[in-house]
């Protein structure tokens, strides 16, 4: 198996990874399945090598792309022509729909992929077409959103994970007085803003119950509870890095991994990143409480494996998709990437991951933005910009919420 990192021009990338019609050089007699995705190449090497051992007649030729924007453009172009992959990582929910509506993907059913019958409907929904209800991908991950913290910094300063909102602010004050940035967070990359707003705000607006009311048009995002939730970004600004709106996502990661910041509000995917890039930092996690009590941990289905409708190896691609829906792959995925596999019944070996799983089972909620990311421009893009303007002091939290309402009203 070969996995190349794509740092080349679009035309070269889509040409190099066309669905194979013959065995590649060095793999005579084998069928080659091309797979496109993103992420560290070593992870794909380890996971897909296991499939190749079970299926010696198949070579999985995977390609990882460097950024999400590169990947989305290249995948769309590749699938539109004859140069796309046999299988590919797909975005979830709203971002999946353009490919579905364009007829680029093969619908999947339990006859070809039996494991789909066991998936939680809430997880599977992110891989379905909105209009036809068909499944177009095998979900690969469930992400949770929480605060990651440096255990040594906490211990050195006599701090424990906060059980109350007042305790969280008191601990942040204590850290700041010692010259430690309480929360490593940056608003320059606006896609992170709804994520962090959700980490601190979901319990304020009432989680899934509130989202159901908005979908049913019983409430709007300008509701005082939602406004209070996103206003947490303003209230916590003193505990963020200086000039937070100019701090990039990568800058925030560096602040935390270097020990200059004690906490990092972010996704579960950060555990693997910090595990590789901050090996000396012992990580812990907690869900921020609210003034009213315990918090809620947002989560979402993070993409799926789809099959190119133009694949020249349909039978082999579907067999591979069936393996991707199996517990064997689910365990490999969880243990390799330190992220929850979407495959049901997979128990994490990693103690910290198991701790997060327990918390999510008890206090889980839906990440709001993925449910309201439709439209053109998408409501997610509109609201991300509004939150950035809010951090810069150009609009209020209420005005940011009103902008989200205006965007959602164009498609809901």
Return all residues near 140 (Cβ < 8 A) that are at least 6 apart.
Answer: 89, 302, 303, 304, 305, 324, 333, 341, 342
The residues with which 144 forms a beta bridge, in sequence order, are 299
Is the per-residue pLDDT at 13 higher than 70?
A: no
Task: Write out pLDDT tens, residues 189-224.
Answer: 999 999 999 999 999 999 999 999 999 999 999 999
Task: Write out pLDDT tens, residues 344-369.
Answer: 999 999 999 999 999 999 999 999 99
Is the per-residue pLDDT at 154 higher than 70?
A: yes
Return all residues near 56 (Cβ < 8 A) that are at least 6 apart.
Answer: 30
Is the per-residue pLDDT at 338 higher than 60?
A: yes
Is the per-residue pLDDT at 2 higher than 80?
A: no
> 124: closest CA among 106, 110, 103?
110
Query: Given this model, what pLDDT does residue 40 score?
Result: 73
Residue/partner pairs of 400-406 with CB below 8 Å, 24 or more apart: 400/230, 401/220, 401/221, 401/222, 401/223, 401/226, 401/227, 401/230, 402/221, 402/222, 404/221, 404/372, 404/379, 405/220, 405/221, 405/222
Is the per-residue pLDDT at 71 higher than 90?
A: no
Query: What is the CA angle 97-100-104, rounded to 5?
Result: 135
Query: Given this model, what pLDDT does residue 17 score?
Result: 43
The whole-number average pLDDT for the span 100-126 is 95
Least confident of 20-24, 66-70, 213-217, 312-316: 20-24
The whole-number average pLDDT for the span 308-333 is 97
Q: pTM for the full model?
A: 0.87
Is the per-residue pLDDT at 21 higher than 70?
A: no
Task: Write out pLDDT tens, residues 77-90.
Answer: 999 998 899 999 99
């Amino acid at each position: 198996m070969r996995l190349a990192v794509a740092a080349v021009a679009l035309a070269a990338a889509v040409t190099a990874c066309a669905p194979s019609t013959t065995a590649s050089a060095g793999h005579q007699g084998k069928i080659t399945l091309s797979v496109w995705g993103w992420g560290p190449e070593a992870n794909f090497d380890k996971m897909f090598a296991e499939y190749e051992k079970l299926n010696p007649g198949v070579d999985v030729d995977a390609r990882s792309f460097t950024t999400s924007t590169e990947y989305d453009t290249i995948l769309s172009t590749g699938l539109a022509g004859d140069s796309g992959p046999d299988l590919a990582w797909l975005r979830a929910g709203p971002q999946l729909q353009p490919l579905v509506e364009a007829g680029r993907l093969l619908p999947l059913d339990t006859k070809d992929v039996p494991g789909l019958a066991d998936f939680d409907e809430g997880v599977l929904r992110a891989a379905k077409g909105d209009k036809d209800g068909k499944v177009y991908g095998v979900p690969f991950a469930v992400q949770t959103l929480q605060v990651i913290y440096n255990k040594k910094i906490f211990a050195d300063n006599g701090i424990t994970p906060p059980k109350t909102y007042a305790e969280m602010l008191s601990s942040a004050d204590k850290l700041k007085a010692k010259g430690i940035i309480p929360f490593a967070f940056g608003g320059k990359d606006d896609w992170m803003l709804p994520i962090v707003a959700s980490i601190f705000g979901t319990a304020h607006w009432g989680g899934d119950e509130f989202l159901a009311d908005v979908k049913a048009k019983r409430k709007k995002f300008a509701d005082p509870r939602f406004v209070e939730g996103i206003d947490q970004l303003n209230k916590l600004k003193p505990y963020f890095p200086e000039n937070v709106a100019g701090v990039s996502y990568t800058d925030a990661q560096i602040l935390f991994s270097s020990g200059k910041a004690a906490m990092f509000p972010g996704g579960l995917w950060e555990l693997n990143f910090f595990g590789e890039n901050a090996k000396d930092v012992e990580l812990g996690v907690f869900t921020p409480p609210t003034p009213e009590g315990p918090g809620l941990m947002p989560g979402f289905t993070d993409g799926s494996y789809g099959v190119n409708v133009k694949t020249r190896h349909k039978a082999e691609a579907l067999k591979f998709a069936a393996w991707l829906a199996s517990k064997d792959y689910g365990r490999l995925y969880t243990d390799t990437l330190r992220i929850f596999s979407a495959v049901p019944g997979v128990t994490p070996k990693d103690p910290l991951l198991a701790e997060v799983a327990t918390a999510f089972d008890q206090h889980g909620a839906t990440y709001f933005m993925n449910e309201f990311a439709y439209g053109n421009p998408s409501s997610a893009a509109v609201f991300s910009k509004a939150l950035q303007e809010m951090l810069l002091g150009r609009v209020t939290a209420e005005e940011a919420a009103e902008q989200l309402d205006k965007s959602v009203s164009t498609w809901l």
